[in-house]
Amino acid sequence: DAKTTQPPSMDCAEGRAANLPCNHSTISGNEYVYWYRQIHSQGPQYIIHGLKNNETNEMASLIITEDRKSSTLILPHATLRDTAVYYCIVQAGGYQKVTFGTGTKLQVIP
Amino acid sequence: GAVVSQHPSRVICKSGTSVKIECRSLDFQATTMFWYRQFPKKSLMLMATSNEGSKATYEQGVEKDKFLINHASLTLSTLTVTSAHPEDSSFYICSATPGQNEKLFFGSGTQLSVL
């Protein structure tokens, strides 16, 4: 079973920041928070991941609460191409299997 | 960056035939690969974990005789849907990781339609 909870859908105006929340209250100490997204009819794409510190890369920022029970993915300036389903996943190290929850369908509106 | 290639991207077959889907890691070795299936407007469902040189580990409810997985090399895993039926029509996706604590790379998926 998925270990994360996300809102099923969100809208965001083009050019504005998109903030996607994720709850992972049962996360273990050795589990990372990963974010992937899936554009229609394609394989998922990695966005960002973190353990306890906030992270930023060319695509997004990841804010993890101090207790690690929730996180927020931030797309600073959403474009129409960011319309996709976004999946938050907790994943331990090693080769453990990765299961997906229902994700958040982000619709970027012109 | 690391790339996972999946082939074919789309296949249409007659009921009762078998279909093979290939998943290759192009620039890294993958001792473990994962196979997912996805129905329209649904999330990815893990089917099995493919281990190089050993038997795959199937998730509960997935028929191992129906979905044959072979991981004969460090860069190739195959999924064969045997005696396909219309209910097997789905989007199949593979993924692989270069190593422990690494992100997953996904293939572009295979849309299987069984007539």
pLDDT score at B67:
97
> Quick check: B84 and B15 in contact, CB under 8 A?
yes
Residue whose structure tokens are 């190739």: B76
- Chain B: give the shortest CA distance to residue A98, in Å: 8
Amino acid code (one letter) for A67: D
Q: Is the pLDDT of residue A91 over 90?
A: no
- Predicted confidence (pLDDT) per residue in A38-60, tens digit: 998 899 999 999 999 999 999 99
Which residues does chain B have within 8 Å of residue A103's beta carbon, measured at their own beta carbons? 43
Provide the pLDDT confidence category of residue A98 given band limits of 50, 70 and 90. Answer: confident
> What separation, in Å, do the N-terminal and C-terminal C-alpha atoms of chain B show?
37
E strands of chain B, at which residues? 4-7, 10-13, 19-25, 32-38, 45-51, 57-58, 67-73, 76-81, 90-96, 105-106, 110-114
DSSP letters for B88-101: G-EEEEEEE-SSTT
Q: Which residues of chain B have pLDDT under 50?
A: none
Nearest CA in chain B to A33: B103
Residue whose structure tokens are 């191409």: A81
Length of chain A: 110
Nearest CA in chain A to B50: A97
pLDDT score at B54:
86
Identity of the residue in A34, A38, A85 whose CB atom sits nearest the CB atom of B103: A34
Answer yes or no: do B43 and A102 touch at CB < 8 A: yes
Secondary-structure percent of chain A, ordered helix, strand, coil, rounded to 5: 5, 50, 50
Q: Is the pLDDT of residue A75 over 70?
A: yes
